[in-house]
Structure 1
Amino acid sequence: MTDPNGGREGRRFSDEELQDLVASTDSGARDPLNRNVALLISGLALLWSLFQLWIAQPQLWFGQYLPVMNSSQTRPIHLTFALLLAFMAYPALKSSPRHHIPILDWGLALTAGGTAFYIFWFSDTLAMTARSGLPTQAQVIVGAIGLLCLLEASRRALGPALTIVGSLFILYGYMGQGWLIPDLIAHEGISFTGLMNALWLDTAGVFGIPLGVSTAFVFLFVLFGSLLDKAGAGNYFIKLAFAGLGHLRGGPAKAAVVGSAMTGLISGSSIANVVTTGTFTIPLMKRVGFTSEQAGSVEVASSVNGQIMPPVMGAAAFLMVEFIGISYLEVIKHAFIPAVISYIALIYIVHLEALKKDMPALGEAKSFTGMLVKFFIGFAVAGAGFTVLIYAVGALRAAAPALTGPVMMTVLGAVYLWLVAIAARRPDLEVDDPNAKEIKLPTVGEVYATGLHYVLPIVVLVWFLMVERQSPAKSAFYATSLMLFIIITQRPLKALFRGQGAQLLAEFKGGFDDLIAGLIAGARNMIGIGVATAAAGIIVAIVTKTPIGTELAGLVEQLSGGILILMLVFVGLFSLILGMGLPTTANYIVVSSLMASVVVTLGAQEGLIVPLIAAHLFVFYFGIMADVTPPVGLASFAAAAVSGGDPIRTGFTAFFYSLRTVALPFLFIFNPALILYGVDLGTWAGIGQAVFIFVIATFAMLLFAAATQGYFLAKSRLYESAALLLVAFTLFVPNVWLDMVQPPFRDVPPAGFEEAVAAAQEGDRLRLLIEWPDFNSGDMTSTTLVMQIEGAGSAAERIDASGLLLYPEDDVVRLDEPMFGTDTAERLSDFDFYADTPVQLAAVQVPVNQMPAQIFFFPALLLLGLVILLQRRRQTKPAF
């Protein structure tokens, strides 16, 4: 059967089947008919949410009256809840009963929960035995049972991918060598006792950093999103997107992109995002001329992009804080521009599709340019208002610091009451039927006032993160606390403002029911993430205890033949493969543990200094593309279930729409300024530089989208698309052309190293080419080390501060093991300084003054002008 738009029609899922699809992946598909069992599952989920709120609140006035738990106690309890609920909420197989819990699952739930709770209950004993290297036989047995239960819970909640990967890593850690294990990563093997100790009993395996991040940060953000959704913010954001964009050419698709970006704040799951927004947007996209596959693909591309959008980034943002050792604000700063320009480009791609097919608007057509002008005016006004608020609070804090807190609370309460009063003047938003015969799109004026109070918790979250510089956990707790208050009070307050005093008690009860439902839904949405972060801890532990983490770079180098761009392509492909079938959080843990250091190491060997944050974003971007790409492509299959399109074709079309997400990682590897690396946002000059980078990158990304879509002002010819790609590349990375014309460094012989250090200005960076014998082959290999010049002392003082120990011998400068505790010692930790062949300084590269890279913008813009002239002759409809 075919649809009228030419796409091959698949089976479209019913609403019940779609909700079951989301439940199966996010919260568990089991729905017991026995009321007591259903209450038990809901009660455990509610208790989990309350526990997480309790451990997040020690900074409040009542915190002194409640016991405070450390991370070695909270992580096991967190996993205990996750495992209990995983076996109770997720059936073992598709054919397993969904309306009751089999005896086996009861036994597995109690056993799995017990092995995790054991780590909490006997934490003091474990500290004296297993964590001191002396595990008992009983502890080892508990660890083995716990690991088996965790892998089974992972299979149920997340599918087989993470279970298979985790099992393979356990086998690799235990065996160490064999005919399937390359010599490059072979090792002696870890004893069964040592393996159980490292993976379950110690604090660095299952109960390590990933589970710690899930416990401390991720739960609160997922709970915050769940409460926002229960309060009605999800429908509000979708309606707002359609009110602003639905009237444009191809408007439903544009609204799908923006709606998915906004619901990305609420949903940490690309699949839930696809189904939540897609059930409304996909039928409307098909109405205006998109095929089933195209409509599903737009929803997939925009929903998966929600995972790269700050502030949550599918929980990867919090993991980056721990893995890289930078602040949360730094992660947001680096991730912001790529995510935003990616969304802008997707809107433009949708616009080009609408132009190519001459799609109509829904209702009275409006101007795309006019919408952009209104958006930027609104953005500027909001930014100006936020800036005024920052200065006002600063002045109040300076004048009366003791009154700042109470005054801010009073103002926040007054603003909330005012916004709810405004919302009460309009009817509550209803969920529209996208299949209705006539679609009446709302206007922004009708929608925006009905949910402005939903923005307050988001403002509070941003305020504490960006202005108060509080931790993500503390910021999320304050925002969630406000959300708890809003969800309870908004309904009775609306009734009061509407003069419906008789319904006050019923509305208050309804708000309390919404609160309980939100707490339960938040916990159930965390089951998969809790299990995923615990299971991913297996991979992290094996990587740190075996050679695979350090030697994988050598394997990639062999495969690529030492060609840098091929190395990056292979790393991207490996990240894509490793990410197949994994949720975003587990996906990032796995790919970053294995591949991030590979990018940095291989770049350094080829003379390209890659910031660690750029390497982590690189592998993260490719990892989440697994949600799009066949054959796994979970989000693509979910979109096809909504649209009735072919899942494989939907996946390939979504991948084509997501080419910008594939290109971005390569671009910021070669030009880290795109992620604002090295840009100081604390100065006006830095802010101006950031704005300039954003404008140029946005323009370049739009040209890239036009080139890949084969349409700009008119249908592009092949050479015009190639020219647009060349212009986009030049705008993104002009430094590549500049380095070809004017090398950025001059070489200094090793013997002149001290002179170069003495002549350098404070803040300069010298690049040191270091050679050393490879552990395995004995051949000489090289890497590039950056030496940051600090202070105004002598050359000897500057070298001592860096930790380098140099010994000139004739024409050779030998390196000894760097001073312990310095950055240099950490970077050179894998070097063998005691081999017969010494580690030596091969060359010193001193930076030279280059002309501005932006000079290459001029020929690029001239080429763009030529393309515009050629296409203007064939243009038949407005470009916007």
Structure 2
Amino acid sequence: MADQHEILSQEEQQKILEKYDPESATRHLKGILGTIVFLVLLAFSIFQLYASITQSLPRQILLSVHLGFALSLIYILFPARKKSKKKHSVAWYDYILALLSLGVGAYYPLMLDTIANRVGTLTSMDLLVGTLAVLLTLEATRRAVGIPITVIATLFIAYAYFGQSMPGFLAHRGLNFESLINTLFFTSEGILGTPLYVSATFIFLFLLFGAFLVKTGVGQYFNDLALTIAGKRVGGPAKVAIFSSALQGTISGSSVANVVTSGSFTIPMMKKLGYKKEFAGAVEAAASTGGQIMPPVMGAAAFLMVEFIGGVSYWDIAKAAAIPAILYFSGIWIMTHFEAKRVGLVGLSKEQLPNKKEVFKKIHLLIPILMVIILLMSGMSVMRAALWSIVATILVSLFLKETRIGIKQIIEALADGARTALAVAAATASAGIIVGVVTKTGLGLKLANGLVDLANGQLLLTLFFTMLTAIVLGMGSPTTANYVITSTIAAPAIITLLTMDMPAGGAVPVSIAISAHLFVFYFGIVADITPPVALAAFAAAGVSGGEPIRTGVNSAKLAIAAFIIPYMFVLSPELLMIDTTILQLIWVLITAITGMIGIGAGIIGFWYRKLYWFERIIAIISGLMLVYPEGLTDTIGLLIFAAMVVSQLVTRKKGKYKLA
């Protein structure tokens, strides 16, 4: 195992989290106030469980109470300024904002019938409450999530109001103040829309599931399991980081949190083995970011995709995302392997590894995660699958004394789950503002047509411009909000172009819808490791002590699959397991992974031996041809790949080239 003094302490981890992850910069309340907050968090979770089990609450009541809980708790837990020195007390004005938030949350339960009977006509009180809801949501989002999404949501509100002053194709007739507030708070398209609905149902339950998993010690178990499986291999610690981060992604909805929690363990090991600071940080950043695209949870974005696409099941999304995720992590694994061979790094010694017998004794901790997959495959609803998985986590924990969850841990897990849901609720509420404006003004279609026109109707150019849009919009936004924004603004461009020759008014084919949404989702996620705003890479640099921008550049290189694969599955949906046979699927997987070997070798500059610049180009070309699932390209790619392997083995054996 890595020396304990090299691993970051909880306090050091918290400092890095607070610097790069707004969700972690909370007040540390103690005494009576701390107890009250804990009880409110507990009440929040109990309310959500009641709503999920009974499914008896009207949608507007469920969402408004969910919003009221989240906003009021954010104002108590998150200070107005990130660097506030008053971490153990609450400012007087935050009590007022918290009370106003509770009032906003209670408005629908108290006035639902009256609001319904008015059919869109707002009273002065409606306008006041709606205005407060918008302002409180924006400020809570700024505190708990960050400035980027708050600015974007504010700009969309301005766009809705000043529509007549917009230039060119962006112009619209504009919304007056009453229409704007009605759209943003009193319809199912604004704050109380689909994103918040997903937060109040699917996402909350899976965050609760994650909190229960953490109580069993599953996070540390992922590290131990990864060490046992990959620790002895060439460049072992880097492969441990990849393996454990892929697993951590099943319970973490944040790339930055994933980096700090698993990276505080893996990065020191990589540095000790001989990896440079920037490369060690980059491996962890790329792998942790990949946790957001790894089924079955995918940072909760999969639940949103089900609602946004329509006509597809959760399992359809998870299945479609499987091969791209495998290729993503394969690419990182392959490149860290070649880097280790290039530098001459070996694996960890037996003394540095955990006891294999003790590790496999706890294999039962993986049962709840497998159970989620099995239940979803069986056709069970997402909410029921999450609820049963929480029950399974509690039962499975009883197998061993060291993993056992008691009443105290169950109560703590309920409060912890509610705490992690606060930022998601704020982000999805603000994302609802964006969706509401886009729906009311038709902006999505306008931007889609604008991107297609800019690309002159060329598919690859449209994809490129959409990629840039998704990366820019994804910078600094958490996974769920990130996806809502990119799917609302960028995905329609791809769908518009791919359906141009289809009959008007017809349903969008599932393959096109899923590939378009996954395309923007991928590029929104890799914004976390794409300079200049690479938050996950910067957090990794904070752990490794490396230079942030260089760490970000290295992470983007390691995550090259995320920049290539989306283009491939839009051009050829076989990579998404849509309309393919088992044999076709096996062939696609084999050729694609083989292609990632060629791409990885070309980028690192080492295969069986050091590669010259022209060999690196050839290796990358052969890899790209193999990743693209088409008969002719696969054949040519395999021939080039085989020739490269033979050439290297022969020249290495003759000693013509010196090893790097």
TM range (shorter): over 0.9
Match for residue 109 of structure 2? 120
Amino acid at match of 1:483: T
Structure 2 counterpart of 1:219, one-letter code: F
Other-structure match for 1:621: 522
Conserved? CA contact 2:529–2:556, under 8 Å: yes
Report the 3-state secondary structure (helix = DSSP H, G, I; strand = E; otherwise coil) of the residue aligned with 1:522.
helix
Contact residue 244 and residue 444 of structure 1 kept, 8 A:
no
The one of 400, 415, 428 equivalent to 1:533 is 428
Q: How many angstroms does 1:280 deviate by?
A: 0.7
Alignment deviations for residues 422-466 of structure 1 (CA, whole Å, 9 cap, x no partner):
xxxxxxxxxxxxxxxxx62124333111x2221222232222111
Partners of 2:611 and 2:498 in 1: how far apart? 36
Residue 240 of structure 1 corresponds to which residue in structure 2? 225
Structure 1 CA distance, aligned partners of 2:643 and 2:477? 46
- Superposition pairs for residues 355-394 of structure 1, below 5 Å? 355-363=341-349
Aligned residue in 2 for 1:92: 80
Contact 1:226 1:267 (C-alpha < 8 Å) held by counterparts: no
The answer on whether the counterparts of 2:22 and 2:143 sit within 8 Å (CA) in structure 1 is no
Partner of 2:159: 172
Partners of 1:321 and 1:328 within 8 A in 2: yes
- Mapped to 1, the partners of 2:189 and 2:109 lie a distance apart of 15
The CA deviation at 1:579 is 0.6
**Structure 1 residues 101, 734: CA separation in 2 closer, same or farther (over 3 Å shift)?**
closer
The CA deviation string for residues 391-414 of structure 1, in whole angstroms up to 9 with x for no partner, is xxxxxxxxxxxxxxxxxxxxxxxx
- Which residue in the other structure is 1:462 paired with? 373
Aligned partner of 2:4 in structure 1 is: none
Deviates more, 1:542-551 or 1:12-21: 12-21
Structure 1 residues 482 and 13, CA gap change in structure 2 (3 angstroms) = closer
Per-residue CA deviations over 1:271-325 (Å, capped at 9, x if unaligned) read 1111111111000000111111111100000000000011111111000101111
For the residues of structure 2 that align with 1:230 and 1:247, how far apart are their CA atoms?
29
* Cα distance between partner residues in 2 of 1:314 and 1:95: 28
The answer as to 2:648 corresponding to 1:871 is yes
What is the deviation of 1:28?
4.6
Alignment partners' CA distance in 2, 1:676 and 1:693:
9
Q: CA deviation at 1:568?
A: 1.1
**SS of structure 2 residue aligned to 1:282:** helix
Q: Distance in 1 between matches of 2:573 and 2:155?
A: 35
- Distance in 2, Cα, partners of 1:323 & 1:453: 35
Q: Superposition pairs for residues 659-678 of structure 1, below 5 Å?
A: 659-678=560-579
Which residue of the partner structure matches residue 720 of structure 1?
615
Match of 1:554 in 2: 449
Aligned equivalent of 1:288: 273
Contact kept, 8 Å, 1:119 with 1:201, in 2: the verdict is no
1:161 to 143, 148, 154: 148
Task: Please say if residues 164 and 174 of structure 2, whose CA atoms lie closer than 8 Å, have aligned partners that are also in contact.
Answer: yes
Give secondary structure in 2 for the equivalent of 1:256. Answer: helix
Q: 1:104 aligns with which of 93, 98, 101?
A: 93
- The one of 27, 32, 40 equivalent to 1:30 is 27
Which residue does the alignment assign to 1:571?
Answer: 466
Q: 1:677 to 1:695 in 2, by over 3 A?
A: same
The equivalent residue for 2:505 is none
8 Å contact kept, 1:185–1:547: no
- Counterpart pick for 1:522 among 389, 413, 417: 417
Tell me the secondary structure at the aligned position of residue 866 of structure 1. helix
The one-letter amino acid of 1:359's match is: L
Give, in whole Å, the separation in 2 of the partners of 1:715 and 1:293: 21
Match of 2:482 in 1: 587
Residue aligned with 2:191, SS: coil
Q: For residues 295 and 514 of structure 1, what CA distance do their matches in structure 2 show? A: 35
| Whole-angstrom distance in 1 between the partners of 2:621 and 2:579 | 26
1:100 & 1:21 partners in 2: Cα distance? 22
- Hey, what's the Cα distance between the residues in 2 that align with 1:113 and 1:870? 70
What letter matches 2:367 in structure 1?
Answer: L
Residue of structure 1 in register with 2:354 after alignment: 442
Correspondence 1:126-165 to 2 at 5 A? 126-129=115-118, 132-165=119-152
TM-score norm. by structure 2 comes to 0.93
**What's the counterpart of residue 412 of structure 1?**
none
Note if 1:197 corresponds to 2:92: no
Which structure is higher in helix share? 2
State the alpha-carbon separation in 2 of the partners of residues 222 and 734 from structure 1. Answer: 36
| SS, match of residue 92 in structure 1 | coil
Please tell me whether the aligned partners of residues 196 and 428 of structure 2 are also in contact (alpha carbons under 8 angstroms).
yes
Residue type of the alignment partner of 1:44:
V
1:347 aligns with: 333
Following the alignment from structure 2 to structure 1, what is the Cα–Cα distance between the partners of residues 382 and 497? 33
Q: Please list, as runs of the form range in 1=range in 2, the aligned pairs for 1:218-237 lying within 5 A after superposition.
A: 218-237=203-222
Paired residue secondary structure (2:406): helix
Q: Secondary structure at the match of 1:203?
A: coil
Structure with more strand by fraction:
1
* Mapped partners of 1:49, 1:657: distance in 2: 39
Q: Distance in 2 between matches of 1:516 and 1:306?
A: 27
Distance 2:590 2:160 in 1: 48
1:586 maps to amino acid: A
Structure 1 SS opposite 2:652:
coil
Once the two structures are TM-superposed, the CA of residue 728 in structure 1 deviates from its matched residue by 2.1
**Counterpart secondary structure, 1:566:** helix
- How far off is 1:19 after superposition? 1.6
- Tell me, yes or no, if the aligned pair for 1:283 and 1:643 is still in contact at 8 Å: yes
* 1:94 positional shift: 2.5
- Alignment coverage as a number of residue pairs: 640
Partner of 1:731: 626
The whole-number CA distance in structure 2 between the counterparts of 1:309 and 1:460 is: 16
Conserved 8 A contact 2:267-2:543:
yes
Q: 1:230 to 1:28 in 2, by over 3 A?
A: farther
Shift of the 663–272 alpha-carbon distance from structure 1 to 2, 3 Å rule, reads same
Superposed CA offset, 1:684-735 (max 9, x none)? xx23332222222222222222222222222222222222222222223354
Gaps of 5+ in 2: 1-6, 503-507
Any residues of structure 2 matched to 1:46-65 within 5 Å, and which? Answer: 46-58=42-54
Which residue identity does 1:247 align to in structure 2? Answer: K
Aligned equivalent of 2:36, options 33, 40, 54: 40
Asked if 1 retains the 8 angstrom alpha-carbon contact of 2:452 and 2:493, the reply is no
Q: Structure 2 residue aligned with 1:70, among 58, 68, 74?
A: 58
Name the aligned partner's letter for residue 60 of structure 2.
S
The amino acid across from 1:141 in the alignment is L
Give ranges in structure 1 of 5+ residues lacking alignment. Answer: 1-11, 59-66, 365-438, 496-506, 680-685, 736-853
> Given that residues 26 and 524 in structure 1 are in contact (C-alpha distance below 8 angstroms), is that contact kept between their aligned partners in structure 2?
no
Please say if residues 625 and 637 of structure 2, whose CA atoms lie closer than 8 Å, have aligned partners that are also in contact.
Answer: yes
Shift of 1:114: 1.6
Larger deviation, residues 690-699 vs 294-303: 690-699
Matched, 1:252 2:162: no
The farther-off stretch of 600-609 and 700-709 is: 600-609
- Counterpart of 2:3? none
- Answer yes or no: is 1:611 the counterpart of 2:600: no
Q: Are residues 27 and 478 of structure 1, via their aligned partners in 2, closer, same or farther at CA, if it must alter by over 3 Å?
A: farther
Residues 695 and 869 of structure 1: is their aligned pair in 2 closer, same or farther, counting only changes over 3 Å? closer
Match of 1:513 in 2: 408
Cα deviation for residue 586 of structure 1 reads 0.2
1:335 is matched with which residue? Answer: 321
Q: Which has the larger radius of gyration?
A: 1
1:871 and 1:636 map into 2 onto residues whose CA distance is 34
